[in-house]
Amino acid sequence: MGESNRRGTTELRTTKAKRRSRLKWMIPLGVVLLAGLAVGVWYFGGLGTDKKEKAATEDHSKHDHGDSKKKDEVKKPEQPTIVKPYWRLTKSPPVTSEPVGLNFRFADHKTEEVITDYELYHEKKMHTIVVSKDLRDFFHYHPEMAADGMFNVNMDLKRATTYKIFVDARSKSQGWINEYAEVIVREPEVVAKHKDPKTAPPAPPLDPPNLVVNDKETMTVEGKKISLSATDLKVGKEANLTFTFKDAASGADVTDLQPYLGAVGHVILVSEDTSEYIHTHPIDDKQRGPKASFSAIFEKEGKYKLWGEFQHQGKRLVVPFVIDVKK
């Protein structure tokens, strides 16, 4: 199966996109969408994105907190570099009964030279975040790069639904690279019953996230009680997200959190409609509990689901919360 790219066969269609939209690659019947193009081919299996979606954003406030006297000014997060993406499913169409393999790489959008000069970014050259569109499922992968700049990730996607894949990396020549794709995963029996090669098997129903704000609650994960204090949740402001850790059995403060991917923790936030993506790091890397604080800048109001990732006594802790950002 060949790669999807800007100069594909006659089956491919291309459209121009604005600076803050993604290449959008559309595959009729199984849609692959990426930052700025729409591409059509059915048997590619179901990668895609919403044409109305704008570029994802990342918060780097730990590096630039700004002048404290300018608290009322609207802040803008860093914007990703425009690149030319290539995506390819290793088997199509994807099904729940086996891992979903995806190959991808990126090229300079002007020269089309494949990007290979990735930097170690929190101990990895590539972070691949996968969430289901209903935001029930969350995965964080770190695929390795081949000599030709290609990454391969095998995703354990067990539900018949649509998943969104965000890639997050830094290149010496390009800066921050943040692209996305969508993949539709079906039950194998649905695919087996579908006999028409000109059409895609029926897509599974897409349930809405129905997020319920719970940032005042306490989560229990791996024997730890974890609470969240979220303040200044307004568009354009620097919000503060502080996690507090206690031992569930004794109630004692946890003060020996271990570094996870080079930091005390990481926080991924995705908006309810999955159009906004934020990956933020700790304000103070020296924190080891009982508190761990992060900051984030939001460009869009609404509900966000977040996943805090931490490590304690060799175990990875993933802590989900839902917050509501006001205008």
Q: CATH number of the domain at 218-325, please? A: 2.60.40.1940
d(CA 165, CA 160): 15
Q: Are 34 and 23 in contact (CB under 8 A)?
A: yes
d(CA 245, CA 81): 36
Closest CA to 121 of 182, 167, 56: 167
H or E element at residue 184: strand 175-184
Closest CA to 36 of 59, 56, 17: 17
Q: Are 266 and 308 in contact (CB under 8 A)?
A: yes
pLDDT, one tens digit for every residue, the chain (327 residues): 333 332 222 211 222 222 232 322 323 333 333 333 233 333 334 455 443 333 334 444 333 333 434 445 666 777 899 999 999 999 989 999 999 999 999 999 999 999 999 999 999 999 999 999 999 999 999 999 999 999 999 999 999 999 999 999 999 999 999 999 999 999 999 999 998 888 889 999 998 999 999 999 999 999 999 999 999 999 999 999 999 999 999 999 999 999 999 999 999 999 999 999 999 989 998 999 999 999 999 999 999 999 999 999 999 999 999 999 999
H or E element at residue 190: helix 188-193
- CATH class (in words) of the domain with range 33-193: mainly beta
Q: What is the tens place of the pLDDT at every residue in 32-86?
A: 333 332 333 333 344 554 433 333 344 443 333 334 344 456 667 778 999 999 9
d(CA 272, CA 141): 22
Q: Tell me if domain 33-193 and domain 218-325 are identical in fold.
A: yes
Q: Angle 98-99-103 (CA atoms, 0-180°, nearest 5)? A: 140
Q: Are 185 and 157 in contact (CB under 8 A)?
A: yes
Q: What is the tens place of the pLDDT at every residue in 185-208?
A: 999 999 999 988 888 899 999 989
**Which residues does residue 325 pair with via DSSP β-bridges, in sequence order?**
302
Domains of the chain by residue range = 33-193, 218-325
